[in-house]
Structure 1
Amino acid sequence: MGTFNTRVHFKNRKSKINVGAQPGTIDIPEDALPPKIVIYSFNQNDLQTSEGTDMKTITEQIKVCNDHTHWIKINGLGDAQLIEDIGTFLGINHLVLEDVVNTHQRPKFDEYDNYVFGTSRIIFFNKNNELVNCQFSGIVKDNIVISFEESHTDYFESVKARLKAGKGLIRTAGPGYIFYALTDTILDNYFVVLSQIGDRIDATEDKLYLRPDKSIMFEAQQLKRTLIIIRRSCWPERDKINDMIRSESDLITKDVKIYLRDAYDHCIQAMDMVESYKEVTSSIIDLYLSMVSNRMNEIMKVLTIISVIFIPLTFVAGVYGMNFSRTDDHGHLLPDNMPELYTRHGYVYAIGGMILLGLIQVFIFWKKGWFNKL
């Protein structure tokens, strides 16, 4: 996979925390993008599309297509007034609007009197090999679905293509089905990301066996961190889908719940893949550390063998390096002071004995099989 040739960067926006702020405060992040609005109004026989950047685009489209179902797709949360106008137009609680602009929510599903609200985490690798973890929020009410996304990236091309084709239930099953389709697309993309991670794990594992170096540990830890981020999205997503299945709201119909059960199975499958990949990455790190330890042990063994061979030779050289005088100050012979120092060919004998001693040690180590394990 080409996207993994460089280091993976984790692209996350910092959360702005206003301690003591009033609940329901709409606080737009400084780096929030300006909104782009696309409205898809459809029924079984017709699909109308319009684009804009303000509330007028929404109201006019709904007024013209009053017998259609509307998917209002908003990319970018940089306009607080637009968010408030949508809340006023649809009668949305300010706490929900606060959750929409506070883009660090965990996946969840909430029911209200005449609408439902849900969030998910969109995770993908962008062109710069950054792991993008952004928020998707959706509100379903009557014949309207409003989706909010942080970025301008078009993430739901497949849903748009199905709407344009007009096949299946996409135009006739109601707004609850659109909300399911968006959630299912997010889950499907988890498998795309996990497939890329699986390829990278295989490449890292092959590198471990062929050319092990310290970069393997860094890559494995990086992949493990990526999997932890996905896990933090998958687990609450499972609970969210389960809440949708158990929902008593008329907006989530029985037909939609059948498809939600399939999405629930996909979420469980993604969770299993995350856990198995996490175990593999941990095993890669442990195996690399074990190989480093074994390599160090082999190096220490070689050094130990060399030291053991030269220790007795050094002892011999040290003994004969003690320069005690052969005679005293009066010329008297001192027989106990190294008589070998004055032996004819003593140097040759000493060197030969030291070589023989070294060869005997090498032979003993060889018989014990120490050299075969180096």
Structure 2
Amino acid sequence: MDSRIKRVKYKVRRRQGNVGDQPGLIVIPDDALKPHVAMFSYNKDELVTSEGKSIKVILDQFKKCDNHTHWIKVNGLGDAELIEQIGIHLNINPLVLEDIANTHQRPKFDEYNDYAFVTSRIVHFNKEDELINNQFSAIIKDNLIISFEEDHEEYFEAVKLRLKAGKGAIRTAGPGYMCYALTDTIIDTYFMLLAQIGDKLDLIEDKVYTDADKSIMFNSQQIKRTLIIIRRASWPERDKINDMIRSESPLITAEVKIFLRDAYDHCIQAMDLIENYKEVTSSIIDLYLSMVSNRMNEIMKVLTIISVIFIPLTFIAGIYGMNFARQDDKGHVIPDNMPELYWHHGYIYAIVLMFLIAIIQVFVFWKKGWFNKL
């Protein structure tokens, strides 16, 4: 496995619109993708699909499949007219349409007279290792669920395969069950993302013990930031699912609530993993800082030992480097001036003395065990 960790890029999102705009105003971001509409009409006997780019696809299939449950899948929010037409046709509150277009919503579950509105966050790494945090929105009404996604990526292929297979309750449990299936798939993407983060943390932790460098700090910090983003998505997701379980809306049946409890457990597990990984990330950072501090202490200890050894040697050299004359210019002996300056072999004596002092100090340090801890 490659030990290098790529730098995670974070897709910057800016809130659209101006301060004081009229409530319910649909503001489409400049970089929003043009919508692609896919419609799945199903019952226990058949599945009818169609695709297009306008509301005509929806209206035509409504006419042909009046005794089916419908899943309308809109990928791309770059057409305000389409969103408005869907709102008019289904009699949706303009505030809901505004929340669909304004892709900064936190996960929530809102109930209205004859429909419900849910939002979630789809968080994942793309091929460029960029962290994507997109909004998923859905309107549940009668025998219909219409979902909105920001891009053209396919996140619900598994749900489509289950729908084609026709096994289980997905074709018979109504739009509430489809909402559960989509929500559960989004939670599963959190586990996939956390598995990738877990692998990266293992690589970083191995590097701490084998070849620690400052990249550990950078990689750990960006993973911690990623975990914060996932946490901001998963915590309100738990509250949203709990609101759905407690809802008395006929759109969320007792059968669906059983499955929602399972999704709630999955969300709790994801949150536990997030908290555990945050602790591991913080521990790695603390461990690296402690290792750097210990290494600095070891270096300072070596320098201190060297300094202690040379301090007395420098003192001796400094004393005999003052060169006070023993005699004046007339040959008279000057009292209290260095008699050693005229010793025979004085240089050898000084060198031997300094060498002995150094040996004694090294021996004392060795007996104290200072060298064993370097």
CA contact (8 A) 1:39 1:72 kept: yes
- CA RMSD after TM alignment: 1.2
What residue in structure 2 maps to residue 58 of structure 1?
A: 58
What residue in structure 2 maps to residue 24 of structure 1?
A: 24
**1:131-142 matches, cutoff 5 A:** 131-142=131-142
What residue in structure 2 maps to residue 188 of structure 1?
A: 188
What residue in structure 2 maps to residue 248 of structure 1?
A: 248
SS in 2 for 1:273: helix
CA contact (8 A) 1:12 1:134 kept: no
Q: CA deviation at 1:3?
A: 11
Gaps of 5+ in 2: none
SS in 2 for 1:358: helix
Q: CA deviation at 1:220?
A: 0.9
SS in 1 for 2:136: strand
What CA distance in whole angstroms lies between the structure 2 residues aligned with 1:3 and 1:225?
20
Deviations 1:271-304 (A, max 9, x none): 0110011000000000000000000000000000
**1:119-138 matches, cutoff 5 A:** 119-138=119-138
Deviations 1:25-84 (A, max 9, x none): 100000000000000011111111110111111111111111111100000000000000
What CA distance in whole angstroms lies between the structure 1 residues aligned with 2:2 and 2:34?
32
Q: CA deviation at 1:4?
A: 7.1
Q: CA deviation at 1:9?
A: 1.2
What residue in structure 1 maps to residue 162 of structure 2?
A: 162
What CA distance in whole angstroms lies between the structure 2 residues aligned with 1:34 and 1:165?
30
The farther-off stretch of 54-63 and 287-296 is 54-63
Question: Aligned partner of 1:24: which letter?
Answer: G
What residue in structure 2 maps to residue 322 of structure 1?
A: 322
What CA distance in whole angstroms lies between the structure 2 residues aligned with 1:245 and 1:348?
94
- Structure 2 length as normaliser, TM-score? 0.98
**1:13-52 matches, cutoff 5 A:** 13-52=13-52
**1:218-237 matches, cutoff 5 A:** 218-237=218-237
What residue in structure 2 maps to residue 204 of structure 1?
A: 204
What CA distance in whole angstroms lies between the structure 2 residues aligned with 1:64 and 1:3?
56
What residue in structure 2 maps to residue 104 of structure 1?
A: 104
Q: CA deviation at 1:328?
A: 2.1
What CA distance in whole angstroms lies between the structure 2 residues aligned with 1:142 and 1:300?
74
What residue in structure 1 maps to residue 71 of structure 2?
A: 71
What CA distance in whole angstroms lies between the structure 1 residues aligned with 2:338 and 2:15?
83
**1:258-337 matches, cutoff 5 A:** 258-337=258-337
What CA distance in whole angstroms lies between the structure 1 residues aligned with 2:218 and 2:17?
32
What CA distance in whole angstroms lies between the structure 1 residues aligned with 2:184 and 2:28?
28
Deviations 1:149-202 (A, max 9, x none): 001001100000001101111101001100110000001111111111111111
What residue in structure 1 maps to residue 6 of structure 2?
A: 6
SS in 2 for 1:330: coil
What CA distance in whole angstroms lies between the structure 1 residues aligned with 2:23 and 2:147?
22
CA contact (8 A) 2:136 2:148 kept: yes
CA contact (8 A) 1:3 1:129 kept: no
SS in 2 for 1:123: strand
Asked if 1:360 is matched to 2:373, the reply is no
CA contact (8 A) 2:17 2:27 kept: no
What residue in structure 2 maps to residue 348 of structure 1?
A: 348
Question: Aligned partner of 1:216: which letter?
Answer: I
The farther-off stretch of 291-300 and 335-344 is 335-344
* Cα distance change on mapping 1:2 and 1:111 into 2, 3 Å: farther
* Cα distance change on mapping 1:180 and 1:44 into 2, 3 Å: same
CA contact (8 A) 1:198 1:277 kept: yes
Question: Aligned partner of 2:51: which letter?
Answer: E
SS in 1 for 2:134: strand
* Cα distance change on mapping 1:3 and 1:299 into 2, 3 Å: closer
What residue in structure 2 maps to residue 177 of structure 1?
A: 177
What CA distance in whole angstroms lies between the structure 1 residues aligned with 2:211 and 2:11?
30
Question: Aligned partner of 2:338: which letter?
Answer: M
Asked if 1:91 is matched to 2:91, the reply is yes
CA contact (8 A) 2:40 2:49 kept: yes
The farther-off stretch of 75-84 and 56-65 is 56-65
What CA distance in whole angstroms lies between the structure 2 residues aligned with 1:217 and 1:368?
36
Matched residue pairs, number?
A: 374
Q: CA deviation at 1:235?
A: 0.6
The farther-off stretch of 177-186 and 318-327 is 318-327
What CA distance in whole angstroms lies between the structure 2 residues aligned with 1:232 and 1:271?
10
CA contact (8 A) 1:144 1:175 kept: yes
What CA distance in whole angstroms lies between the structure 2 residues aligned with 1:271 and 1:154?
24
CA contact (8 A) 2:119 2:137 kept: yes
SS in 2 for 1:73: strand
Q: CA deviation at 1:335?
A: 3.7
What CA distance in whole angstroms lies between the structure 1 residues aligned with 2:152 and 2:3?
21
Gaps of 5+ in 1: none
What CA distance in whole angstroms lies between the structure 2 residues aligned with 1:330 and 1:6?
82
Question: Aligned partner of 2:177: which letter?
Answer: Y
* Cα distance change on mapping 1:25 and 1:2 into 2, 3 Å: farther
Q: Give aligned-pair identity as a percent.
A: 71
